[in-house]
Amino acid sequence: MKWFFWTLIFLVFVTPIIFIGKGIDHLDIMKDRYKRALDAGASSAARAYIYDDRDSLEYAAIGFGSEMQHGDNILVDKDNALDWFYKVFFRNLGIEDDMTTQENIKKYIPMKAIASFDRLMIANLHDQWIYEREYLIDYKGTKYYFTMSDQVRVKNTNLWGRDIDFGISPIEREALVSEFIRKELNKFLEGRENYESNNTYSVNIAGYNSDEETESIGGISFIVMLEGMPLPTLNPWKVEKFYAFALGGTEISRN
């Protein structure tokens, strides 16, 4: 009987430790899987834009080309990008045919954004594109409309030119645009529709040539935030939730 008694004690004390250990490993695996799926979706969305070089840049004006020449202007199909994000994200989660689960997960994605060639566009919780801001930035007392290329436009005169023509270095331009995007994303998140919590966030995006170890904007990009999605767990008494930010981008270059 003594051996049975000590075996029972061993099981009582060791089993919870094993169970907890497996639970932690399981959560790490699930978080990694969900983050990879989110990154893959954002990356696919950034490469799914439909370009149209026959139309002016976002219906606004000329700007992306060689010097002042009209050409290679970029029109973004934001709904196509959003569709591709969901398609790849849900496929990587293995729920591409489960519409009910897809709709439930969408409730935890309060922000989808596109940093396009000359403006930032943001979709809300319901996938409605409700927010649009051109990259209008003050630089040393003068307001410019910036772009993802070296083309900028003076607000007062509508004069287009290269960044260096106005004394703006490429590194400064990239940093200014990245900071503009960061502030606008944070502003949107402060007033977002949130089914999960009252948490506040600070999106940290470095300039493209920055030495900071943060994600950066170097071209047209798709940005997404996922907040508070429940994770499957081996612990029935505790609900684990997933929070993540993903950025997928495409570089802009001239032929």
pLDDT at residue 24, rounded to an integer: 47
- 3-state class (DSSP) for residue 112: strand
- 3-state class (DSSP) for residue 22: helix
Q: Which domain holds residue 154?
A: 2-251
Q: How confident is the model at residue 29 (pLDDT cuts 50, 70, 90)?
A: confident
Half-sphere exposure of 129 (CA within 13 A, CB side): 15
How far apart, in whole angstroms, are the C-alpha atoms of residue 119 and residue 1?
77
* CB contact at 8 A, 91 and 48: no
Give residue 125's Cα distance to chain centre.
14
Q: Is the dihedral of CA 210, 184, 147, 168 positive or negative?
A: negative
Q: Which position has the token pair 């099981």?
A: 11
At 57, give phi and psi (nearest 5°): -55, 110
pLDDT tens-digit map of 94-114: 999 999 999 999 999 999 999
Q: How confident is the model at residue 63 (pLDDT cuts 50, 70, 90)?
A: very low
pLDDT tens-digit map of 192-217: 776 555 666 667 665 444 333 345 56
Short-list 49, 79, 44, 74, CA closest to 60: 74
**Cβ-proximal residues to 39 (8 Å cutoff; 6+ apart), any chain:** 246, 248
Give residue 212's Cα distance to chain centre.
18
DSSP 216: B
Short-list 150, 246, 170, CA closest to 210: 170
The H helix count followed by the E strand count for the chain is 4, 9
Q: How confident is the model at residue 184 (pLDDT cuts 50, 70, 90)?
A: very high
Q: In DSSP terms, which residues pair with 120 in a beta bridge?
A: 115, 133
Q: Which residue has the higher pLDDT, 249 or 254?
A: 249
State the Cα angle at 205 between 193 and 37, rounded to 5°.
65
Q: How confident is the model at residue 143 (pLDDT cuts 50, 70, 90)?
A: very high
Give residue 27's Cα distance to chain centre.
23
Residue 31's alpha-carbon distances to 24, 115, 228, in angstroms, are 11, 26, 12
Number of structural domains (the chain) is 1
Global pTM value: 0.77
Q: Six-digit token pair at 137?
A: 């930035």
